[in-house]
Amino acid sequence: MRTRSDSPKKRVYVRRRVCRFCQDSNIAIDYKDPKLLKSFITERGKIMPRRMTGTCANHQRKLKEAIKMARHIAFLPFTTLLK
């Protein structure tokens, strides 16, 4: 006899995020826009993965290149100082 703790777990359906850039074509990925790019970087300076941001593969690649370019031009820091 199965108890509640032995029963198989049901999968919870999580609604997938839609790419912000595919949804609104007015938003452009530009390395000169640090305000937009900062929302895709962690507090430690790492680029967030697609599963966290919800962007599609094409726009994630463009984001990656824009963030790296902005870092080289010093619009964005490579890392942040932790105290």
Looking at per-residue pLDDT, the higher value among 83 and 69 belongs to 69
Q: Which of 46, 56, 70 is nearest to 23 (CA)?
A: 56
Beta bridge partners of 41: 47
Class (C level, CATH) for 25-72: few secondary structures
Spatial separation of the C-alpha atoms in residues 40 and 71, rounded to whole Å: 13
pLDDT tens digits for range 54-78: 999 999 999 999 999 999 999 999 9
Instruction: Give residue limits of the domains in the chain.
Output: 25-72
